Amino acid sequence: MSLLEVRGLTKIYGSLTALKDARMTVTGNEFHGLIGPNGSGKSTLLKCIAGAELPSGGTVHLSGRDITRATPPERSRAGMSLKFQITAILPQLSVYDNLLLALQAHDPMLALIASRTRGRLHDEVMELLTRFGLADRRDQLAGFLSHGQQQWLEIAMALSRKPKLLLLDEPTAGMSPQERRATGDLLGPIKARCSLLIVEHDLDFIKDICDSLTVLDQGEVVASGRTDDVQNDPRVKEAYLAHG
């Protein structure tokens, strides 16, 4: 069964049609790459799926539920999580508190007022910190982490609520080659638990970790399917070559 189902998604900004009748499907436990030249509409598509922008037409379903116009908290509760390009960590809070904030997001307000889940969530925070190599920096302010570590912290935060679908917008932008490799290694194991929809410029990185790809060009889906098939699709080659 498909986890994410995008049908006929259109986004119009004034006279500019950024997305035209886009359709794509992400199944459970799948890593799905979203690629295309600059300005092809992939960020717009991701934002419409995430709820940061509302589409002009079309629908988005998550696990069979229509979430096209759901608010961000509703999407989060439906099992969607995301990491945008702009840093969303809280630089003035410690690494530990950043993760705690993400982890406790679905707890009832009264439990938070009484700090009733602080003890229970401690182990989960420490486990995530260890998994993402941040355990020895837990009391450091997040703003003082290196760029790569900030990205990992964000991924850890995005994964903390055990989402069914994680949206990642250019997770390796600005990273060193070593950090890229480490990011790939960190993402690998999550496939058992959740699906990934990832926008990325680095094609080698995408090809390494993604099972399937959707290629956009000028706001339209050019191809969508298994990574190997899509790569050899003549229309994809043309779209990429035409734009250099």
Interface residue list for another protein (CB under 8 A): 50-51, 71-73, 75-77, 81-82, 88, 90-94, 96-97, 100-102, 104-107, 109, 111-120, 122-123, 125-126, 138-141, 144-146, 149, 157, 161
Are 26 and 45 in contact by the 8 Å Cβ rule? The answer is no
Query: Which lies closer to another protein via its Cβ, residue 38 or residue 115?
Result: 115
Nearest-approach distance from CB 62 to another protein, in angstroms? 14
Nearest-approach distance from CB 224 to another protein, in angstroms? 26
Query: Which lies closer to another protein via its Cβ, residue 76 or residue 218?
Result: 76
- DSSP-derived pairing of the beta strands 57-62 and 2-13: antiparallel
Q: How far is CA 117 from CA 95, 104, 157, 225, in A?
A: 18, 8, 17, 43
Q: Which two tokens stand for residue 197?
A: 């929809």
Q: DSSP letters along 115-169, please?
A: TTTHHHHHHHHHHHHHHTT-GGGTTSBGGGS-HHHHHHHHHHHHHTT--SEEEEE
Query: Which lies closer to another protein via its Cβ, residue 36 or residue 55?
Result: 55
Nearest-approach distance from CB 126 to another protein, in angstroms? 8
Query: Which lies closer to another protein via its Cβ, residue 20 or residue 83?
Result: 83
Q: Beta partners for 59? A: 7
Nearest-approach distance from CB 91 to another protein, in angstroms? 8
Query: Which lies closer to another protein via its Cβ, residue 82 or residue 206?
Result: 82
Distance CA 233, CA 222 (A): 9
Nearest-approach distance from CB 90 to another protein, in angstroms? 5
